[in-house]
Structure 1
Amino acid sequence: MVVVSDFDAIVIGAGIQGSYTAYHLSKNSKTLLIDQFALPHSRGSSHGQTRIIRKAYSKTCYTHMMTECYQLWKQLEAEANVELFRQTGLLVLGQEEDPDFQCVKSTLVDNKVPMMTLTSADFSTRFPAIRLPKEVSAILDETAGILYADRALKTLQDLFRRFGGTIRDGEKVVEIHPGSLVAVTTTTGIYRAKSLVITAGPWTNKLLNLVGLQLPLKTLRIIVCYWKEKVPGTYGISKGFPCFLRMFSSAFQHHFYGLPSNEYPGLMKVCYHNGNDSDPDERDIAFRLPSQDVNLLSDFLSKEFPGLDPKPAVIEYCMYTNTPDLDFILDHHPDHRNIIIGAGFSGHGFKLAPVVGKVLSELCIGKKPSYDLSPFKIHRFSFKSLL
């Protein structure tokens, strides 16, 4: 076993949240980033070519964070001289009587986010390839767009190394011993540091069990579907087609979302914002298709996106790690203040990673957080202490 005792901070989990945390820490601290899989990999929640970035949220706390997130994404682009963001706009489609739809509208207006409210005539002129039901309203978050996810993750990890950070991938953590120096034992070595940050996505509770804690996290296997355009370019990014968020007040528990055809030529990414309970280590066990989620998507697209073939052309998988209220956990371990937890990003955390990484790094070094973290405290839930 190799013993390394001179790290200021260790981050476990090299997805977008852990990589952004390590990136922030590496500018002033000697930092180690550990991942159980060889990088890059597609086992967690941060892989894939694209993600939506938006200010359209029903909760103001996220819209406030997004203001700085846009700035930090732009800063990362400048540091690495690489394009990570492309502005497309985001259509938010929902019924006026839906409280969540109204909250999104209010949040955009209250925060003076550039937006448009589209009349049915405006909508049919601008987006003739969408068959919008009469009872559905449309607003456009003009600031929104897509993030190039895989590229962003690699960029962060490359810059982290450039700033002197160390990455140990392909090393599974098997023991964590709290103390003034936290000792982390992997399948390869033992590493010690003043502070530890756990950003392990769907493996969070498996790691927290090593330090006597279990949080109310649910891990879901998400089906990521790509649908063929009947006429190539109908929903294409090159034609100025935006991302969309289709909200429902009663028919479904969760919404649908989509990104313009881009990563696979002629295929549009449209997904259901929900999935089935799944152990992350069993995500890729074969199951019979079509699943209920695919059927829901197919039916929806047949009605509202007639320019797409209602049979998915490509199916991939991703993991969500959900909290009961779908808000993040950004907090100290209840019994060990030098162990920091970033978890429960509930399928909407990627875009917020620049600020999440910033506040987790601030907690790690004992600095006052830049944001009010009361909505993200562990104690808002009941949890199990295993000590």
Structure 2
Amino acid sequence: MRARHGHRGYRGHGTFSARPPLRSIRYGGQRHSPRTLRTGHGNPAGAERSPGRVSRGRIPRTRGGPQPPGAIRPRTCVVPEDHYRGATAGSSLVPRTARAGDPAPRDPGSVVNRRSVHYDAIVVGGGVVGVSTAYVLAGRGLSVLLLERYAPVHEHGSSHGDSRMIRFDYEENVYVEMAARAYRAWEDLAKRLGRPVFRRTGICNLAPAGSEVLETLETRLRDCELPHERLAGRAFADRFPQLNLPQNSEAIYQPDSAVLFADEVVRSLWDCVLEYGVDALTETEVVSIDPRDDHVEVTASDGRSWSGTRLVLAAGGWTDRWLNALGIDVDLVVTRELLAYFPRAGAVPHEAGAMPNVIDYHTSDPFYCVPQVRVPGVKAGCHRTGRVVKADDPEEVDDTNLASVREFIGRRCPHLSRDPVAVKHCLYTNSADYHFILDCHPDHANVVVAAGFSGHGFKFGPVLGEILAARLFGETPPVDTSLFGLERFSSPSVLKPRTLA
């Protein structure tokens, strides 16, 4: 397939508890209970060996949680030398993940795993999608190499910051199903870590009364049997004093939405893959990916090279150049989206748990708010309004965009200051229809591409890892992925872009 598609004329875009009240949900006419949506149980063959299980002749890795005290964990990962410094008797066996600013290893050759430099799978990109995929693959007992250009949770891409929304208010059924599976997976991660990774907040979608967006969301929530309320006027104001809902407007409130502690979960997933024995190389820029008949060769800018039987490309805003290099003529548009944190200006609480997530459809480009988590302010931005950039372009604050976000805060959040305490950026890697790309290379089935997450992919991290692992081994994915294929770009005229956030 060499479908050329370009769209450069772009307008640049729970508390930790027992089970949340996600009732059994209907998808495609079939009813699934929350238990059937749990991650890690997607193989219909049950306990039988699948193509993605332990390779012949390789000793399976430990697949549970942390090893017991006294267990020896070999140092098999390329990480900064001070990774293990500061350990004392009785300290956690989970090593500290590399942080931005850590020095690179002085002699990577002496630190890399002593076994062969051939791996069952190589994952390029250590953001939430890449590290989630490495986590799933290593859990299958495979030897995995994870390559990250920077340090974990760096601020150059899309997997940083203190918060992301988990939400179910999608027009497409597959995203609702994926969100339900991801919710369970994040809860499982919290149990493994022994600490919360999200906080349940609910979400309010705001729009003019009778608007199509409200009707669409309410229909979808009803079809999926998800709880929701339609609020307006005094009932809304009493319930959510943080927000000013205009007259002749309504809100749909869905209580199961949550705030995910974004950078914390990415660091925790890095810790987990290190426990699984993944060779995780930071500060490693890949300059060559060469698919062969039975393996893929990868080379870094410093001359190091590795081979893998299979490869997952999850390079975020840098993926577009790799698609072209690999002969996949599908354009991705990268935008640098502005977000700002606005501090409280009164006594009304705005922390996660007191304030809901918000998506506001009163304008053609929806605004959003995420309640305060760690940074002392409510996060706000305007979805898909960033400037078109290259991933390596220097950051510049768009004063016009910032002014529009400040105006939004002034009219919608009366108890917040309009002067932000911080202004940040996040890359959106947008496909033409704002749907994901989760597919095999058309000529190399051992190469899988993960791209085009278009500003709404982070929450799905664990499920994306499951899907990519399944695609890598020719298995049936845990959800229907027909919406995410590369073939759809062969007919760009029939692509229908998503209209909701």
Answer whether TM exceeds 0.5 for this pair: yes
Q: Using the TM superposition, give the Cα deviation of residue 121 of structure 1 relative to its aligned residue in structure 2, in angstroms.
A: 2.2
**Alpha-carbon separation, structure 1, partners of 2:116 and 2:320:** 25
**DSSP 3-state at the match of 2:343:** strand
The superposition leaves residues 51-101 of structure 1 with CA deviations (integer Å, 9 ceiling, x where unpaired) of 111111122210011111111111111122221011011111112443333
**Quick one: distance in 2 between partners of 1:237 and 1:76?**
20
**Closer, same or farther in 2 for the Cα pair 1:176/1:375, shift >3 Å?**
same
Residues 1:264 and 2:375 aligned together = yes
CA distance in 2, matches of 1:195, 1:100: 42
**One-letter code of the match for 2:361?**
M
Please, which runs of 5 or more residues in structure 1 have no aligned partner? Answer: none
Kindly provide the amino acid, as one letter, of the partner of residue 260 in structure 1: P
CA distance in 2, matches of 1:217, 1:261: 32
Task: Trace 1:194-209 onto structure 2 (pairs within 5 A).
Answer: 194-209=309-324
In the alignment, what sits opposite 1:138? 251
1:12-51 matched pairs, under 5 angstroms: 12-28=124-140, 29-51=142-164
Query: CA–CA distance in 2 between the matches of 1:31 and 1:277?
Result: 34
C-alpha contact 1:51 1:149 (8 A) present in aligned 2: yes
Moved more, 7-16 or 103-112: 103-112
Q: CA RMSD in A?
A: 1.9
Equivalent residue, structure 1, for 2:390: 279
CA distance in 1 between counterparts of 2:338 and 2:128 reads 20
8 Å contact kept, 1:216–1:383? no
Deviates more, 1:67-76 or 1:303-312: 303-312
Q: Who is 1:219 aligned against?
A: 334
> Is 2:337 the partner of 1:337?
no
SS at match of 2:178: helix
What code does the residue aligned with 1:227 have? F
Shift of 1:306: 1.8
* 2-structure distance, mates of 1:134, 1:374: 41
Match of 2:299 among 171, 174, 185: 185
Aligned: 1:243 with 2:357: yes
Structure-to-structure mapping, 1:1-387, within 5 angstroms: 4-28=116-140, 29-179=142-292, 180-188=294-302, 189-231=304-346, 233-237=348-352, 240-248=354-362, 251-252=363-364, 254-265=365-376, 267-274=377-384, 275-284=386-395, 286=396, 290=399, 292-382=400-490
Contact 1:233 1:261 in 2 (8 A): no
Whether contact under 8 Å (2:344, 2:417) holds in the other structure is yes
* 1-structure distance, mates of 2:152, 2:176: 31
The one-letter amino acid of 1:182's match is: V
**Separation in 2 of the partners of 1:18 and 1:367?**
19
Identity %: 32
> How many residue pairs were aligned?
376
Instruction: Write the deviation string for residues 250-309 of structure 1: whole angstroms up to 9, x where unpaired.
Output: x42x211111122223x111111121101110142x45x52x221221222222212222
2:249 and 2:230 map into 1 onto residues whose CA distance is 12
Change (3 A) 1:276 1:339: same
Task: Output the CA distance in 2 between the equivalents of 1:353 and 1:237.
Answer: 21
**Local SS of the residue matching 2:349:** coil
Q: Secondary structure at the residue paired with 1:214?
A: coil
* Post-superposition offset of 1:232: 5.0
| Structure 2 letter corresponding to 1:277 | V
1:189-225 per-residue CA deviation (whole Å, 9 max, x = no partner) reads 1111111100111000122233222322110001110
Of the structure 1 ranges 95-104 and 7-16, higher mean CA displacement relative to structure 2 is found in: 95-104
Once the two structures are TM-superposed, the CA of residue 235 in structure 1 deviates from its matched residue by 2.1
Q: TM-score, structure 1 length as denominator? A: 0.92
* Deviation at residue 237 of structure 1 after TM alignment: 2.8
> Deviation of residue 311 (structure 1)?
2.9
**4+ long deviations beyond 3 Å:** 1-5
Q: Deviations over 1:304-349 (max 9, x none)?
A: 2122222323101110001111110000111111110010000000
Question: What amino acid does structure 1 have at the position aligned with 2:305?
Answer: I
- Secondary structure of 2:392's partner? helix
Counterparts of 1:228 and 1:81 in 2: how far apart (Å)? Answer: 30
Q: Distance in 2 between matches of 1:209 and 1:171?
A: 21
Match of 1:281, SS? Answer: coil
Q: How far 1:4 sits from its partner (Å)?
A: 4.7
1:5, CA displacement in angstroms? 4.0
Equivalent position amino acid for 2:300 in 1:
T
Q: Could you give the per-residue CA deviations for residues 234-259 of structure 1, whole angstroms, max 9, x where no partner exists? A: 32336x111111113xx42x211111
Report SS of the residue matched to 1:78: helix
Residue pair 2:241, 2:348 contacting (<8 A) in 1 also:
no
Q: Which amino acid aligns with 1:149?
A: A
Structure 2 residues without counterparts, runs of 5 or longer: 1-107, 110-114, 493-501
CA gap 1:199/1:84 in 2 versus in 1, 3 angstroms: same
Contact preservation (8 Å) 1:96, 1:137 = yes
Q: Distance in 2 between matches of 1:211 and 1:129?
A: 49
Which shows bigger deviation, 2-11 or 204-213?
2-11
Deviates more, 1:99-108 or 1:174-183: 99-108
Distance 2:327 2:172 in 1: 32
Q: Which amino acid aligns with 1:190?
A: S
What amino acid is aligned across from residue 136 of structure 1 in structure 2? S
